[in-house]
Amino acid sequence: MDCFLLYPNDRQPDAALLVQWKGKSGSVVPSSCPDIILQWEDAGLSCLETYVVVLNGREALHNASQPETKRAMLTAADIPYIHNVSAAKEKDISATIRRYIAIVFQQEIVSLYRSSGRSLWLNHRIREGEDKYREIEVNQKIREIRRVTQYAVQSVYALGLDFAAVYFGVDLRGRIYVLDVAPTFRMTHTLARKFIACVERFCQGYACDAVDITLGADVEFVLRNAEGKAVMASSYLPKEGVVGCDRILLRSDLTHKHLPLAEIRPEPGADARELFRNIYHAMMIGIRKIGSEQIEWVAGGMPLSGYPIGGHVHFGGLPPNSQLLRALDTYLALPVFMIESSRSLLRRPKYGCLGDMRFQFHGGFEYRTLPSWLTSPKVARGVLALSHVIALSYRKLRQLPLLDPEMYRAFYNGDREALAPLLPFLWNDLRLLESYARYESYLEPFAQLVLSRVEWEEFADIRPVWKLPPFHPELTASRAYEHSVL
């Protein structure tokens, strides 16, 4: 795919970028419209252009240029943001002792710089050249660098941008704050080469037809006894395996108690049907390992007070990019949002942020925004089918309602009334896809739940609806399978 560098007539980028750029560039889009346009500052193109992909479209640039909009969107996503001195005083911050600049392209850190000169700043304004910076390694083993890079990618994505410079300050207590997000930034020849390499990787990945996608999942649930109290999953399940325990510490829990979570980790599948069968087989293994009909299984977003749980969907053979993640947010996370219980909505913003993803060792990624969707087979089928349909066809799914700051905040505020009118239009988009017919038997029942806004039961034992049998030693997996939901 060809990529055109577009910039306003009176504000072209640094010469370093223009010198390194291998494709066409200019202030006017050529008559033979390119596949992808990288917009350097606002040259008039929207993120919603029909026949071309626009990186840093007008709506995203507007979000980044309006101080109050930028503040509202970053704080809604639980990103620590200090935009002026008065805001710093409100948070008891008097000075920053280190500063960083992260250059981001979609989910990648292009370059990371740390201040190397003055050791104390008494204000939080960003001035070009206010101090010297040196490029440093993106060492994820160092907690401060790991947090800086996480916040950098999240900040760019939250505003709807595809690339930007994110400025950070670290205060005397070691707390990290975003000071600004700037869609344009100074280029050196080295930075320009690295930046263009990221753009080229995106273009190559976006052009690839997704034909060998594999789907996987890891989905958490809580074990509960007959009195309604949580049971430690480690009492019954091993740490590893297709069904096991997940001993994660809750970041805000000062008691450092382990989460009593169980987790389904089925074998991946070539499509949603195969993965659904693998999930059920993993659940049957869990039934045999736990071995007690008195231990209930509960799912959702927060069936146990203070302990958010999630349902991660894994994609293999598909490189992630912001266009794919925004399609998952719009056409998967929003439908699930409409049927979550009110309790489930409380896991945000610390957990379940829009665009939440993690690279995997196999070269794919996991989408981490969703709560635990094991609440019923109908919901699980819908989630898996939508995941596959979106992965196959995301380039045709072009609505981006969450770029609107009001819709964005409505998601984090749990305001379903504001977002509900969007769903019929989104579902019409999905029904027009060729891949939708492949999963119609999965998707139409799910659509009825979503469009009717039928909330799942957050505190119900999921075993009956999944037709999981009480444990009996003589009950084999094959016999249970005959009477299952498959």
Spatial CA neighbour of 377 closest among 276, 286, 478:
276
Render each residue's pLDDT in the chain as its tens digit; 486 residues.
899 999 998 888 989 999 999 889 999 999 888 999 999 999 999 999 989 999 999 999 999 999 999 999 999 999 999 876 556 655 666 678 899 999 999 999 999 999 975 555 555 555 545 568 999 999 999 999 999 999 999 999 999 999 999 999 999 899 999 999 999 999 999 999 999 999 999 999 998 876 689 999 999 999 999 888 888 898 899 989 999 987 654 444 444 566 678 999 999 999 999 999 999 999 999 999 998 889 999 999 999 888 899 999 999 999 999 999 999 999 999 999 999 999 999 999 889 999 999 998 777 899 999 999 999 999 999 999 999 999 999 999 999 999 999 999 999 999 999 999 999 999 999 999 999 999 999 999 999 999 999 999 999 999 999 999 875 444 444 454 445 567
Contact 276, 380 (CB under 8 A): yes
Longest CA–CA separation in the chain, Å: 78
Q: Please give the full DSSP string across 207-223, using - where no structure is assigned.
A: HS---S-EEEEEEEEEE
Signed CA dihedral, 145, 61, 64, 333: sign only: negative
Angle, CA of 327, 330 and 334, to the nearest 5°:
145
How many CA atoms, within 13 angstroms, populate the side-chain half-sphere of residue 244?
11
Burial classification of residue 404, based on how many CB atoms lie within 10 Å of its CB (0-12 exposed, 13-18 middle, 19 or more buried): middle
Burial classification of residue 144, based on how many CB atoms lie within 10 Å of its CB (0-12 exposed, 13-18 middle, 19 or more buried): middle
DSSP lists the bridge partners of residue 307 as 304
Q: Say what angle helices 377-393 and 440-452 make with each other, to 10 degrees.
A: 110
- Residues with Cβ within 8 Å of 200's Cβ and at least 6 positions away in sequence, in order, are 3
Can you list the domains of the chain with their CATH numbers?
3-56 (no CATH), 65-182 (3.30.470.20), 214-466 (3.30.590)
Q: Please give the full DSSP string across 284-295, using - where no structure is assigned.
A: HHHHHHH--TTS
Angle, CA of 9, 32 and 39, to the nearest 5°:
40
Spatial CA neighbour of 455 closest among 412, 420, 429, 413:
420
Alpha carbon 158 to chain centroid, angstroms: 10
